[in-house]
Structure 1
Amino acid sequence: MTFPELYILRHGETEWNAENRMQGALNSPLTDKGLRDAARQAAILNGLDLTGFQFLCSPQGRAFQTAGLALGRIAADIHTDDRLREIGVGDWSGVLRDGLPVPEGKDPFMAQYEIAPSGEGFARLEVRCRAFLADLTGPSVLVTHGITSRMLRSIVAGEGAVSVPTIHGGQGCVYHLKDGVQKLLE
Structure 2
Amino acid sequence: MTILVTAATGHLGRLVIDRLIARGADASDIVAGVRTPAKAADLAEKGVQVRNLDYDKPASIPAALEGIDRVLLISSPEIGSRVPQHTAVVDAAAAAGVQLLAYTSCGEALTTDFMLAPEHKATEEAIHASGVPFTVLRNVWYIENYLPNAAQVKETGVLLGAAGAGRVAAATRKDYADAAAVV
Q: TM-score, normalised on structure 2? A: 0.38
Q: In terms of Rg, which structure is larger? A: 2
Q: TM-score, normalised on structure 1? A: 0.37
